[in-house]
Amino acid sequence: MFGYYFKLGLRSLRRNPALTALMVLTLAIGVAASVSTLTILHMMSGDPIPSKSERLFVPQFDNGGLDGYTPGAEPDDMQMSYQDAANLLRGGQGERRTAMYGVQLPIEPPRKDMSAFKSNGIAPTRDFFAMFDVPFLHGQAWSEQDEERGADVVVLGRAMSEKLFGDANPIGQRLTLMGNPYTVVGVTDTWKPLTRYYKLVGGGHPGQGEEFFIPFSSAIRHETGHSGSMSCSSNRESGYANLLASECTWIQFWFETRSSADRAELQTYIDNYASEQRKLGRMQRNAPNALYNVMEWMEKLKVVGNDSKLSAWLAFAFLVLCLVNTIGLLLAKFSVRATEVGIRRALGASRGDIFRQFLIETGVIGLAGGLLGLALSFGALALIGMQSARMAAAARMDWQMLALTFVMSIAAAVIAGLLPTWRACKVTPAIQLKSQ
């Protein structure tokens, strides 16, 4: 019986192929636009490290001066000073802790056929790799001894390694950074928190997969400046000495606790630390000290900006508009088939038989529109992923979003087709035939 009604529905749709194609295309465009946009937004705003996001915290102190300060105002800098970072590293609070900052350094490749170039990287402490579950393709992070003596070692991102050394294992190879020879000790594999949220872990620019990591102590020893902006007191001379001054905020700091329940203990620790620094005269403002986990920090940094959220709403509105247009076309198509309903009922067809026929017919329209929309969505995401490595990491199909829009397209088609059918079935066949 299903096969009979399915063939009957297809025959009915072929009566007006232009109208059928228009309905299917309208649904497909709405599904494709909403799925691709909402998928990217969902991926960009998702938890980059779900296994640890509730245990990783960024502290924030207010190191600003009293000039122009309004009590209760939010701190105007989201990083901290070198002196505070060094103190917190020595404090040993939490299971792990890391200080880091973004750098941009000239790289002289070991290959003769490649010219020197600049690249963005991060200068973290050793715990950084374990804290953020950084996967390694070759080698490992530098040792504690390397960190203590500020050794000139480097961990390369996968794309950077392939750019410099091809597919070969570069462990033990050397390259020149800032005019100093650095030994490669590790190569990281593709890593979502970096490729998707470079600012989240201290990078000054969006990551493209061509990153490198040098020890925090090595960067300090070589007086390596910050790649991004920094806030420094104007009453000191410029230069590297100013970077190490307590008034200069340029470092990002992270704690990892054993569990999310340790947040209160960590908050008490940073409050006590800030209180001690105020007594020493270093922190002049009596502002509350903030503590952010990963998702809160992403919100603070506005990783997903208002423009992206507006785009998502516009995409959803476009889907609704396409569904409304499809519903209008279906209502018009099925409203004129009251005569067909009357004839079939007069010949002995039950209301259930008629509903099953029209249900299959409208379902085919919704299913065809959804499948075409799915194909267009994959095409759109593939084109977006070709633009950059960062977008490729985000442009992955979100099946929940797909299921939602797929169900909406089929539901809209079914409801729009069955509503006039239900009205026609309520009329007595004899009256319906007489009126037609």
pLDDT value of residue 126: 95
Cα atoms found within 13 Å of the Cα of residue 264, Cβ hemisphere only: 1
Closest listed residue to residue 229, CA positions, set 205, 250, 198: 250
Q: Which residue is associated with the tokens 């600012």?
A: 199
pLDDT value, residue 229: 44
Length of the chain: 436
Q: Where are the domains of the chain?
A: 1-47+306-425, 56-301
Sign of torsion, CA 340 344 349 351? positive
Give 300-353 as a DSSP string.
Answer: HHTSS-HHHHHHHHHHHHHHHHHHHHHHHHHHHHHHTTHHHHHHHHHTT--HHH
The span from the CA of 141 to the CA of 436, in Å, is 82
**pLDDT score for 337:** 64
Q: Measure the CA–CA gap between 190 and 63, rounded to whole angstroms.
A: 36
At 249-293, the pLDDT tens digits run 578 899 999 999 999 999 999 999 988 988 887 777 777 788 999
Q: Is the Cβ–Cβ distance between 351 and 425 less than 8 Å?
A: yes
Pairing relation of β-strands 117-124 and 96-108? Answer: antiparallel
Residue 389 has pLDDT above 60, yes or no: no
The span from the CA of 334 to the CA of 97, in Å, is 66
Closest residue by Cα to residue 381 from 359, 403, 360, 399:
399
Mean pLDDT (whole number) for 162-188: 93
Q: Beta 136-139 vs 180-188: how paired, if at all?
A: antiparallel
Alpha-carbon torsion, ordered 259, 265, 267, 268, to 10 deg: -170
**Stretch among 25-34, 300-309, 318-327, 404-413 having the lowest mean pLDDT:** 300-309
Look at residue 127 in the predicted model and tell me its pLDDT: 95
Mean pLDDT of 79-101: 90
Angle between helices 2-14 and 17-45 (to 10 degrees): 110
pLDDT on residue 398: 61
Q: Describe the crossing of helices 17-45 and 306-335 by its angle, rounded to 10 degrees.
A: 160
Q: Which of residues 131 and 74 earns the better pLDDT score?
A: 131
pLDDT at 390 over 50: no
| pLDDT > 70? residue 240 | no
Q: Which of the given ranges, 228-237, 270-279, 376-385, has the highest pLDDT on average?
A: 270-279
- Neighbouring residues of 129: CB distance < 8 A, sequence distance ≥ 6: 136, 141, 155, 188, 213
Average pLDDT, the chain: 76
**What pLDDT, on a 0 to 100 scale, did the predictor assign at position 35?**
73
Residue given tokens 């040993």 in the structure block: 92
pLDDT band of 313, cuts 50, 70, 90: low
Residues 6+ apart with CB under 8 A from 375: none
pLDDT of residue 96: 95
Name which residue leads in pLDDT, 70 or 237: 70
- This prediction has a pTM of 0.66
At 160 the three-state DSSP class reads helix
Secondary structure (3-state) at 152: coil
pLDDT at 335 over 70: no
pLDDT tops 60 at residue 239: no
Give me the pLDDT at residue 336, please: 63
Q: Is 436 helix (H, G, I), strand (E, B) or coil?
A: coil
Residue among 25, 20, 24 nearest 9 (CA) = 20
Q: What is the pLDDT of residues 92-131, one digit of tens each?
A: 999 999 999 888 899 998 888 889 998 888 899 999 999 9
pLDDT of residue 232: 45
Select the more confidently predicted residue: 254 or 433: 254
Band of the pLDDT at 25, cuts 50, 70, 90? confident
Q: What is the mean pLDDT of residues 148-173?
A: 93
Given this model, what pLDDT does residue 186 score?
Answer: 96
